[in-house]
Amino acid sequence: DSVASRGLGDVYKRQMLELSNKFLQLEIDPEGAYITSFRAGAQNIFFPRTQLDYNGTSKNRGGSHVCLPQFGAPGEFNLKSHGFGREILWQVESQTEDNLTLLANKVAGEYEELESRQSFALVDSTLEIVLSVRNNGENPLAISPAFHPYFNVAGQEEIKIDGETIDITDDKFADSVYVNSPKLVETDLFNLELEYEKLPVTVLWTDKKADYFCIEPTYNSISFSKGEGYLTLAAGESATFKYKVSVTVK
């Protein structure tokens, strides 16, 4: 990860962007439009972004980031895993106390004409994230985005997803499990209601390196590496993807 490779001190020298209301607090790093912290008071809803050691290499884990233009491996496309969205600098387009819109800097190469925005809003006890993309070029562009939140599970071995008890210590989650996007998640700390638009496939994953469990809504899982199932934006075409997390503290 480009951010991780610079070291923890360098990452946190940047000015973080903060949103809050009477229920929730959100901190966002403009590099990668990366949610570093999402809390309800003192309770972490997302496991805070942390750099963890992987056999001598530091990697960012925790928080939440966009996977843009694709989730997973790039397949035949000249991209990094999970794309470039989590690495590039995003500029503030507008900001209030509880609402933020970020515009992505252009990237060189095939996706130079992809205009990308992310908006983050705190509405009562709900976090609303909207990703909007538009192809401003003449050539079609493939996209298959996702969001990659690391939910705080505080040492639990089980959580409930849509009423079913899930053993999150099961090794199968290291290889990713694909499900229809769930609506309800229950942990020892929170009840979470999840809503989506254009994100019907969710990936359940954890490497068990810390107290997080990822519930990642995607457009169509690993469609780039499969070579099919992604969305193709024609010249001038747009698409919008929405994700909401509503929180009830126990």
Cα angle for residues 20, 219, 114 (degrees, 5° grid): 80
Beta-bridge partner residues of 208: none
The CB-side HSE value for 4 (13 A sphere, CA atoms) comes to 15
pTM: 0.92
- Whole-number pLDDT of residue 14: 66
CB of 19 closer than 8 Å to CB of 120: yes
6, 55, 49, 86: CA torsion to nearest 10: 60
Residues of the chain with pLDDT under 50: 1-12
pLDDT tens digit sequence for 212-236: 999 999 999 999 999 999 999 999 9
Q: Who's near 119: CB < 8 A, 6+ residues apart?
A: 99, 100, 101, 102, 128, 129, 130, 132
Count other Cβ atoms within 10 Å, centred on residue 144. Answer: 26
- Whole-number pLDDT of residue 12: 44
The H-or-E segment that residue 11 falls in is: helix 8-11
Q: What is the DSSP string of 164-231?
A: EEEETT-GGGGG-EEEEPPSEEE-SSEEEEEEEES--EEEEE---SSSEEEEEEESSTTHHHHT-S-E
- Whole-number pLDDT of residue 107: 92
Token pair 């925790």: residue:
62
- Whole-number pLDDT of residue 15: 86
